[in-house]
Every structure is written in C-alpha cells, then in structure tokens.
Amino acid sequence: MNDTKIDLYKKYSVPEPQPYGSQLDILIVDPQSDVRILLTHHLQKLGFSKLRVVKDGLEALTEIRRHPANIVLLSNELDGPTAQDVIQELREDISIQRDVVILCSTPINKQEVMLALENGFDDFLIKPIIPNEILPKFKSAHAVFSSQRNPERIYEYAKFAIRLNELDRAESVYTDLAQQTLKAARPYVGLARIAHMRGDLDGAMKHAQDAIQKNNKYVHAHALLGQLHLEKNDLDAAFSSFRTAIELSPLNVVRYEKVAEPLLKVGRVDDLIMLLNIAVKAGFEHPFIIERLGHCFFQKKDYAKAGKYFRQAVSAEPENLSFLNALAICYRDSQLYNEALDIYNQIIKKDNENHLVMFNKSLVLKLMGRPDEAIKLLRKIIAKHPEFKKAKDKLTEILAEEDG
C-alpha cells in the first residue's frame, strides 16, 4: 500500500485492532481432531485461554458470524469450503468481522506461499506444527494485519459502516479504494452492494459489471450479479452468473446455499440440478448439496431419485431432523407409509415436542387407515399448540369423515 493509501487510515480514523496478547480470541479450523487437540494444547501452554475449535469451513463462518475471532487458524486441508473459499467469504461477507487469518498448511512451495499471502492470509504455519514457531507467527500475522500498509482494515471499516447502515461513509471508502487500486474488482463489489441496498438495481449492476471487467474471476462479483439479474426477473442471465460463480468456486457450499432457494422460488428446478451437479462432478458431495438434489427431484415428483438422495443425506448426517423429515415426506408421497411412519417415530423419539413432525405423522396414520390414532395425535398437538390451524382443520376434516 503506497503513502496515498495510508492517508485513508487518517481520513476515516480507522480504529486499531485489539493489541496483541494472550487475551485474544482464537478459532482453530481443522478437519483432523488430533490437530485440533494438539493446537489447543500448545496454545493453552502459551497462555491463550479463549480458544474455540471447529472442523470445517462452513462451521467456521457460522462461528465467526456468531462471535468474531481475533485470530483464525485455517487449515488448507478442508474439503469445502476450502481455506481459499473461507478467506474470500471472510473478506466479502458484510455480516462478518474479519481479523487476523493464518493458514495452517501442509508443506507448500514459494509460489503457493505468495498466492496465499496475495489472497489475504496474514501468515502461515507449516504442519506438523512446531510449538516454538507459534508465537513468532502469531506476532508476525498480527503485525501484518495491524499495519497501515495493509488495505484489509480499510475494507473492514467499509463493511462495518454498512452494518451500521452508514451507506454514504461506506460508499466514500469504496470510492477511494477504487481510485487507488485501479485493477481491483473488490471496491466495485462494495459499491454494487451499497447501490443495491439503496434500491438502485441499475447502478448496482453497473458496479458489478465493472468489477467483472476488472477481474472476470472474482467470484463474488458474479454471485452478486446473478442476484441482481434474478431481482430483475432475467432468469437466464441470473443462471449464467450463478453458474460462473460456482464454476470458479465449486467446493464452496456457501455458493450453493445462496442460489438454491431463489432458484426454487422461481421454479428453475432443472437449473438448480445442473448447478448442484457441478459439485457432484467435482467429487464434492456435501450433505446440503445431496439434500437439495433430493428436494429438486421431489419437486419433479421423481420420488425414486429423491429418496435416493435423501437417504444419502441422512446417512451423512443421521441426527439432522430436517433431512429425516424430508425423507419421511418422500416416503409418504411414494405411498411407502410404513417407512414414513418409522422415520417420524425416529424424529419424535429425538424431539418429542416437534408438533410439525407429529402433524405429518397424523397424515400418514390417516392414509394408513388408522383414523383413531390420527385423531388422538391431532388432539394432543392442538392441546399444546392451540394456534396450529392446520391441525385443527385436519381434525375437523377427519371427524366429519368418520361421522359420515
């Protein structure tokens, strides 16, 4: 960062990060439990007490949204989102406060080191971790992030202004950054977001297109442009932009999460299947991807394929009640009532207050020719949830049928 850019710290009075010390909050992100345990042990011995651990990138993003971390130790062995995906989300997600990020890596060459630093990592630790290297690397990474030659804190300042809804101030910061980093796409994505928040879709699209012109591999520019096309009801253009974003980052489940519901809402089920299959072809079979494929085929009434994907998702996450419920509904609509009832009983055993699942079970009991049991269950639901209109209506319907 040149001296002109240093002035942005003074112009906006960008606050300093927390001083370095053992009081810092540290998040360890690694898929291997032995590495998480070892790092926790070493850091505790070094005096750090505010330690959290997660096993994948998606958990890391969720945890940082919940409570920011002063230092994130991010493994390069994550299945997806990868470490590169996670740092891009940390940099771009308005809801996230990004601080120091250290790449915990298997041995890498000089070119890979330079790429990691260029992508926003503040330093790196090479596995297997040598305890004596931890403190020097922490201090070095903190110094890099804290430096007024580092543009990251200015970008974070702009994100902070957006979170406070101080859009004029954020716009001024991004405009300055765009003028001083002429080849960067990132300031234009920020300007596009601000225009979008103001309801200026045309202005937002222009900024997003400017970002892509600066860097046509900038994932978030394509993702945002897809969202804007969708809001303009240009569904083909939206799909094209979403596909580009996903093809640039095929192992980032966040990208799929962002497009799944919007595409389903406008009935583009086949388009969503095509996008989800990009992940599958890349060998990335995240439970969310698989469950969404199941949902797509359920929408198409291809219950055999839907059931296959739902069973695969449940196999990956057997405690996920949402996945279990989706499988049960698929069984019900496939007229596999015994299988559906078995799944509902499993869910109720885990969560006996889940009135929606109990309601679904009552529907299956009615379909199985067991109206007395359905009535009993519906009355139990209504006793605890008297505001649940669907249960009341269904009970009235069954009672009328029985009286008839």
| 259 CB-near residues (< 8 Å, 6+ apart) | 226, 242, 246, 272, 275
- The answer as to whether 102 is a domain residue is yes
The Cα 46–Cα 308 span in angstroms is 49
* pLDDT band with cut points at 50, 70 and 90 for residue 4: very low
What's the mean pLDDT when you consider all of the chain?
Answer: 94
- The answer as to whether 289 is a domain residue is no
- The answer as to whether 26 is a domain residue is yes
Q: Taking 90 as the threshold, does the pLDDT of residue 403 lie above it?
A: no
- The answer as to whether 356 is a domain residue is no
| 37 CB-near residues (< 8 Å, 6+ apart) | none
320-336 pLDDT, tens digit each? 999 999 999 999 999 99
- The answer as to whether 181 is a domain residue is no
Q: How far is CA 205 from CA 118, 165, 213, 222, 238, in A?
A: 27, 20, 12, 10, 12
* pLDDT band with cut points at 50, 70 and 90 for residue 6: low
pTM for this structure?
0.88
pLDDT at residue 116, as a whole number: 83
Higher-confidence residue of 43 and 2: namely 43
Query: Is the CA virtual torsion 87, 91, 96, 101 positive or negative?
Result: positive
Q: How many domains does the chain have?
A: 1
pLDDT at residue 49, as a whole number: 93
* pLDDT band with cut points at 50, 70 and 90 for residue 34: very high
Edge-to-edge strand list for the sheet holding 123-126: 51-54, 26-29, 71-75, 100-105, 123-126
Q: Which residue, chain included where needed, has tokens 């810092």? A: 24
Number of H helices, E strands in the chain: 21, 5
pLDDT at residue 404, as a whole number: 62
- The answer as to whether 209 is a domain residue is no
- The answer as to whether 352 is a domain residue is no
291-317 pLDDT, tens digit each? 999 999 999 999 999 999 999 999 999
pLDDT at residue 181, as a whole number: 87
100-143 pLDDT, tens digit each? 999 999 887 888 878 888 888 999 999 899 999 999 999 999 99
pLDDT at residue 66, as a whole number: 93
Q: Quick one: average pLDDT of 28-40? A: 95
335-370 pLDDT, tens digit each? 999 999 999 999 999 998 999 999 999 999 999 999
Higher-confidence residue of 402 and 144: namely 144
Domain that holds residue 150: 3-154
- The answer as to whether 385 is a domain residue is no
Q: What is the CATH number of the domain that holds 51?
A: 3.40.50.2300
